[in-house]
Amino acid sequence: MFHYTIVQDGQTVEELLRDKWRLGKKIVHELRMAKAITLEDGTPVLWKDPLKAGTIIKFEYDIPASSYVPTDYCDVDIRYEDEHCLIVSKPKGMSTHPNDEWDRDTCMNHVMSYIDDNGGHYAEHVHRLDQGTKGLLLIAKHPIAKSIFDRMIEEKSIIRTYAAEVQGNIRTDSGTINAPIGKDRHHNTRRVVSPTGQHAVTHYEVVKRFKSTCVVHLVLETGRTHQIRVHLAHLGHPIVGDTMYNARQTASGDYELHAIQLEFLHPFLNESIVVKDQ
């Protein structure tokens, strides 16, 4: 169950669902059949009746349970929470989600432990981070939020900012890497820039320069597997320690890529959300 406050005077429930949130026909139909939307006191709402700004409507319907097996306790930090979403800080070395039924120590298993402890049973990640990447991950707490956030990711209205230290000094202070990414035929997990790959765009800005490396902030316009790692290597400046993409090995034997900020206009709260993970 969650609540929503009508912002636009005269808006109808149908306009909210179809025009503002642009929910799919299936979800809209399910909500209608379940009589899921009422006024705050439980009074039924006619979907085509205009509502006054400030009217609070209630959504109450059966939410399916997510399949992630909860860990004994949640070992990921919660950076932001409301009744629609969580933003967590995924540790380095932890997968976003299970890849098989025995994989039960992923970020989503830990998130499900937190959700379970707080009386919930649904959590689904909106995007993902590579196992070696740490930082902010957006989690939907109900299917309507998942549907809307998925669309926002596709429409590039959730701004994801990353930080990385790369080999060498990139000549320009800022730029855009627009290069399609596909699978490497010779390596099971590696990706390469390929003319037959998927459209991929990364924007970068150099924020600090050292003698033989520089620190860049990157904003993803698309979300392909290993996108930042592939694009920086393609530019000739792989992330320090990212040996999969031809960087020199570091003493730690690892690379540093950090999802440092998420920014979006919250579709339910109608306010700008900016969460940082420094």
- Residue positions annotated with a catalytic role: 130
Tell me if 56 sits within 8 A of 43, measured CB to CB.
no
Tell me if 213 sits within 8 A of 166, measured CB to CB.
yes
Tell me if 143 sits within 8 A of 192, measured CB to CB.
no
Sheet containing 37-39: order of strands:
2-5, 56-59, 37-39
Name 53's Cβ contacts closer than 8 Å, sequence gap at least 6. Answer: 6, 7, 8, 9, 11
Q: Which of 261, 225, 277, 273 is nearest to 85 (CA)?
A: 273
How far is CA 117 from each of CA 71, 174, 240, rounded to the nearest angstrom? 11, 44, 39
